[in-house]
Each structure stands twice: as C-alpha cells, then as structure tokens.
C-alpha cells in the first residue's frame, strides 16, 4: 500500500518513486504463471492427493534444490535430448560456476542419493513435488516454469517394482477423479543388448527413408535413432508409422521382464494398452517406458511419463543401481480436475461499539485456536459489516454488542438460514465446530 493515498485508490503507475520507466509495464516472465485462488487450490489438491497416495505405497518425500551444477543434467539426460540441447535454463553464477534450473526431478534425486551416501541404504522410495524449468514455446499446458510431482523407486531390479510405481501413478489419477480421462500406454525399450540390435534395425530403416526425414531427425540418425520415434514433425511421423517395432529385437531376458510387468499390472487392476512408439524424451531409460495420455488437453496430451533408468545413478558417480520412476505435470493434471476442495467458509465476528471490541478479539482468537476459520469485521456499521461477512461467504456472523460483551454472550446468526440465537462466549467454539 502506498502511504497517503485514499483507501481503495491505486498508486499511479509512475509515482516518481520508481525512476525506471521500463518497470511501468512489468509483466510475468513469458511462460510463467501466478497461482491464485482456484488455480492454487487445484494445484495444492493435486500435490496433497499425490502425497497421500504415494505414502500408502511407502514413498517418503524429498526436496532437492531447484538449481544444480549443470553437469547433473548435461551428463545424465543425454546430449541428444531436447531438454539438454534446447530447453535448459543455464547461467553462470557470481562465482563463475555453471548452474542450471532443474528441468526435471530424477537427476537431482539421484545426485542427492549419491552425495548423501544413500546408495548403500536401498531401496529408497522417493516422492517429490516442485517447480521445473524448460525454455519451451509456451502454449496451453506447456510453460517455462511448470510443476511436477514424481515418484522414484531406487534399488529393486524386479518388474514388480515397475508395476508398483505405475500402480501408484494410476491410483493417484483415480484419487483425483481423472483416471477415466487417461489411458496408460506401455512399452519396453529392452535391455542394453536389445537396444543395440533395435538401434541397428532403426538405422537401416531410417537410412532407406533419409530423403523424407527432417533435419533434426537426420542429425539423430547415427547418434540416437530411437529419438526419431518421438519426433513431433509431421513428415517424420509418416515415416515413423512404418518403422520396425522393438519386440522382435528383444532378448529373452527383456521379453520375459516385459511379460512379467504386464502380468503384475493385470493383477493390480491397472488397465493399459501397448504402444510400441513410446520412447520417452530423455535418454536414460531401459526396459519399461510408459505414459498416461489424455485427449482432453489438445496437443499437450501426456500427463505422466516414466520408466526404468538403471544406468542413471552410475552416471552420477554412484554404483550401478537399478531404478524406476515417473513424473507428472501438475498443470496438466489440474486442468483435468472436475472437483477440488473449496476454501472453508469462515465465521465472522462483528463487534458493534468500541467497548465490545476487546471481547470480540478474545472471541475470534479463541475460535482460531480451536481450529475454526474466523475473521473479525474491522469497520463500518452493523449493516456494512454484515454485507462484508456475506461477501466473505461466511457461514455465521457472531455479533457482540456492549450488552453481549457485558453478559459474556454473543448473537450467533447462521447466514445460510438466517436463524439467530444467543450463545455463551465460552461455548462458541463447540457450538461452531
Ligand atoms: P512433452 O512431450 O509434452 O514435451 P516430455 O516428454 O518433455 O513431455 P517429461 O520430461 O516426461 O515430459 O515430463 C513429465 C511430464 O511433465 C509431462 O508428461 C508433462 O505432463 C509435464 N511437462 C513436461 N514439460 C512441461 C512443460 N513445459 N509445461 C508443463 N508441463 C510439462
Ligand atoms: Mg518436452
């Protein structure tokens, strides 16, 4: 509030205090959003629900820093991934170190596992929620600062771990009431040996169609042909449609891993469909790859994605450590929500007359300390204060005048029914609970 201005009046944009003219048209940075009112409530509901469901699966919440040494990401996400080549927010800090705002959560969790000496205390089951940063073209469901929830199950190499992680994600969608809008698409990327064989098969196929490939896909042809399967270019998509699938290239081990995973998912009641085109944007996956997709959000159809990343902890400088996990975009989940908790209606304490104010202050504090959302009307006559209570969507008005103050009572008016009765101040909290 600028001092000296009449109530309710906004300071002129250039009031002389602020000499920098460019500050007159301050806007949120492109691709960032403020979370206010229902936007925040949706956001918080997604996190609260996910946290609660993940806890039933035994996940503990971690919070890692939102910026890391750039190498945490450049080393591990793969130097052909979109995230590393085009999307990272990297800068040199005042000490000359290269820092990156985290574009995703898994690398930081693995870094924390290694630097915290937890690689000998496995399994670790990690849940996290927080902001991520990618320099992308902003559009509906795609932002430069966005938020993810995620789960990582680090240690077990059995397909049961993959199934549990996926089931946890599914149960979160169920708890949010949006599982009906999403489909789980499942694939396997095989083990190292299958990947190598598949890679050769893809290179052979794409080389035959070199002339029709986008420049970006051409550049990936030798380095990482699997990433071409994930291309968003329309011309590439037509070629990708007829590319070989991985199944015939799978080793016996990889094929039985995948079969076992499907068996567990069926037993856990998690519906899925196989999609051999799911490869995931980041390079560190093997075996399981999956996405929960929706057609309710237009082009930004993936709400949750994940898979097995057995090589990542080792790349971070730890011992070879199997792991599987997923991340989901909170903004996209929020957009799908049909219901989310509303703010609780307050009760409003209204003193009428100066001598009632101290008693009213005692009453409002008593209510708050009893866990009841309570407001106190500041000024104006009874009518103005009642209007304000209605505007706050209050469920009850607690009117305390000089007479009530002297007798230690209040008039409690139910604002939904209009009913009013007298209640002793000492009974207020129980009466309103
Ligand atoms: P996309 O193909 O949509 O770019 P991605 O493969 O880059 O997704 P992941 O790295 O797997 O996404 O991140 C997991 C989830 O995080 C996505 O499924 C999506 O819900 C969300 N997400 C990713 N990038 C953004 C973004 N820029 N804005 C909002 N949500 C995002
Ligand atoms: Mg992306």
Q: Based on the domain organization, do 296 and 425 belong to the same domain?
A: no
User: What is the pLDDT at residue 404?
Assistant: 95
Can you tell me the distance from the alpha carbon of 32 to that of 133, in angstroms, rounded to the nearest whole number? 10
The answer to whether residues 309 and 391 belong to one domain is: no
> Is the Cα dihedral 390, 381, 406, 376 positive or negative?
positive
Count of H-run helices and E-run strands, the chain: 15, 16
Give dist(CA 253, CA 257) in Å, integer: 6
Residue 13's pLDDT is 45
The alpha carbon of 197 and the centre of ligand 1 are apart by a number of angstroms equal to 29
CA 360 to chain centre: 41
Contact at 8 Å (CB) between 374 and 367?
yes
- Give the torsion sign (CA, 302, 303, 308, 310): positive
For the record, the structure tokens of 27 come out as 């806007």
Residue 357 neighbours by CB distance under 10 Å = 15
Please give the pLDDT value at position 23: 67
What CATH number is given to the structural domain containing 378? 3.40.50.800
Q: Which CATH number covers residue 71?
A: 3.30.930.10
CA distance 13 to 51: 42
Number of domains present in the structure of the chain: 2
Best CA proximity match to 68, nearest among 104, 41, 17, 21: 104
Q: How far is the CA of 55 from the centre of ligand 1 (A)?
A: 24
| Same structural domain, 257 and 394 | no
Inter-residue contact 320 to 296 (CB < 8 Å): no
Pocket of ligand 1 (CB under 6 A): 104, 134, 136, 141-143, 146, 148, 281, 300, 302-305, 327-329, 331-332
Phi, psi of 136 (to 5 degrees): -125, 170
Residues in the chain: 433
Determine how many CB atoms are found less than 10 A away from the CB of residue 259: 11
Q: Can you give the pLDDT at residue 324?
A: 98
Same domain, 91 and 150: yes
Alpha carbon distances (Å) from 279 to 22, 231, 256: 45, 10, 19
CA gap 207, 195 in Å, rounded? 18
Residue 16: per-residue pLDDT = 43
Q: What residues contact 362, with CB distance under 8 A and at least 6 apart?
A: 425
Residue 329 sits in the same domain as residue 386: no
Q: The domain containing residue 99 runs over which residues?
A: 38-191+251-336
State the Cα–Cα distance between residues 374 and 43, nearest whole angstrom.
Answer: 24
Domain contains 22: no
Task: Give the pLDDT confidence score for residue 22 in this predicted structure.
Answer: 66
Ligand 2 geometric centre to CA of 168 (Å): 23
| pTM given for the model | 0.89
Strands (E), 168-301: 182-188, 273-274, 286-294
Rounded Cα–Cα distance for residues 78 and 224 (Å): 10
Handedness of CA 151, 156, 157, 160 (dihedral sign): negative
| Residue 23 within any structural domain of the chain | no
| Ligand 1: centre distance to CA 408 (Å) | 59
Which run of H or E residues covers position 323? strand 323-329
Last residue within a domain, chosen from 293, 313, 336: 336
User: Looking at ligand 1, which atom is closest to the CA of residue 300?
Assistant: 3
- The three-class DSSP label of residue 125 is strand
- Tell me the three state secondary structure of residue 252: helix
Atom of ligand 1 nearest to the CA of 103: 10
Residue 16 covered by a domain: no
Burial of 249 (0-12, 13-18, 19+ CB in 10 A): buried
> 295 and 375: one domain?
no
Strand pairing category for 347-352 and 374-376: parallel
The answer to whether the CB of 169 falls within 8 A of the CB of 306 is yes
Residue 335: strand, helix, or coil? helix
Tell me which of 136, 148, 231, 284 to substitute to probe ligand 1's pocket, judged by most ligand atoms within 8 Å of the beta carbon.
148
Ligand 1 nearest-atom number relative to CA 282: 10
Q: 327 and 181 in one domain?
A: yes
Position in ligand 1 atom list of the atom nearest CA 144: 27
The residue contributing the CA closest to ligand 1 atom 24 is: 142
The phi, psi pair for 264, rounded to 5°, reads -65, -40
- 156 with 67, same domain: the answer is yes
Distance 281 CA to ligand 2 centre (A): 7
Do residues 327 and 352 both lie within one domain? no
Domain boundary among 287, 313, 336: 336
CA dihedral 226, 232, 238, 239 (to 10 degrees): -20
State whether 93 and 181 are in the same domain. Answer: yes
Q: Based on the domain organization, do 44 and 116 belong to the same domain? A: yes
pLDDT in tens, the chain (433 residues): 334 444 444 444 444 445 565 667 899 999 999 999 999 999 999 999 999 999 999 999 999 999 999 999 988 777 667 777 789 999 999 999 999 999 999 999 999 999 999 999 999 999 999 999 999 999 999 999 999 999 999 999 999 999 999 999 999 999 999 999 999 999 999 998 998 999 999 999 999 999 999 998 998 888 888 889 888 889 999 999 999 999 999 999 999 999 999 999 999 999 999 999 888 766 668 999 999 999 999 888 999 999 999 989 998 999 999 999 999 999 999 999 999 998 889 999 999 888 899 999 999 999 999 999 999 987 778 888 888 888 888 999 999 999 999 999 999 999 999 999 999 999 999 999 8
Residues 118, 185: one domain?
Answer: yes
């Amino acid at each position: 509030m600028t001092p000296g201005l009449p109530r309710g009046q906004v300071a002129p944009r250039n009031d002389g205090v602020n000499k920098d003219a460019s500050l007159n048209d301050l806007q949120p940075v492109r691709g960032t959003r403020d979370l206010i009112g229902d936007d925040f409530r949706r956001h918080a509901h997604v996190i609260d629900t996910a946290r609660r469901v993940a806890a039933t699966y035994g996940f503990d919440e971690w919070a890692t820093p939102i910026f890391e040494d750039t190498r945490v990401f450049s080393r591990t996400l793969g130097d052909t991934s979109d995230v590393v080549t085009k999307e990272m927010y990297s800068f040199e800090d005042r000490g000359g170190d290269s820092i990156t705002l985290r574009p995703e959560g898994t690398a930081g969790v693995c870094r924390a596992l290694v630097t915290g000496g937890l690689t000998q205390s496995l399994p670790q089951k990690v849940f996290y929620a927080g902001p991520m940063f990618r320099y992308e073209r902003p559009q509906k469901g795609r932002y430069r600062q966005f938020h993810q929830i995620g789960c990582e199950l680090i240690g077990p190499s059995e397909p049961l771990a993959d199934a549990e992680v996926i089931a946890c994600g599914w149960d979160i969608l169920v708890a949010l009431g949006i599982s009906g809008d999403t489909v789980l698409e499942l694939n396997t990327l095989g083990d190292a040996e299958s990947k190598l064989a598949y890679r050769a098969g893809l290179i052979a196929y794409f080389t035959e169609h070199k002339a029709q490939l986008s420049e970006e896909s051409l550049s990936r042809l030798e380095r990482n042909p699997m990433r071409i399967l994930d291309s968003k270019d329309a011309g590439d998509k037509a070629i990708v449609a007829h590319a070989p699938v991985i199944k015939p290239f799978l080793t016996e081990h990889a094929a039985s891993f995948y079969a076992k995973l499907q068996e567990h998912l069926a037993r856990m009641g998690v519906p899925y469909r196989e999609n051999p085109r799911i490869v995931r944007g980041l390079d560190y996956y093997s075996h399981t790859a999956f996405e929960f997709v929706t057609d309710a959000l237009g082009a930004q159809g993936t709400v949750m994605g994940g898979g097995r990343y057995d090589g990542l902890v080792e790349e971070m400088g730890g011992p070879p450590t199997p792991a599987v996990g997923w991340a989901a975009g909170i903004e996209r989940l929020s957009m799908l929500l049909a219901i989310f908790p509303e703010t609780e209606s307050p009760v409003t304490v209204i003193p009428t007359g100066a001598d009632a104010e101290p008693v009213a202050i005692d009453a409002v504090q008593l209510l708050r300390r009893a866990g009841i959302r309570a407001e106190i009307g500041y000024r104006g006559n009874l009518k103005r204060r009642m209007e304000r209570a209605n505007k706050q969507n209050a469920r009850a008005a607690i009117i305390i005048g000089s007479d009530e103050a002297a007798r230690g009572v209040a008039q409690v008016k139910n604002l939904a029914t209009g009913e009013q009765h007298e209640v002793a101040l000492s009974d207020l909290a129980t009466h309103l609970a």
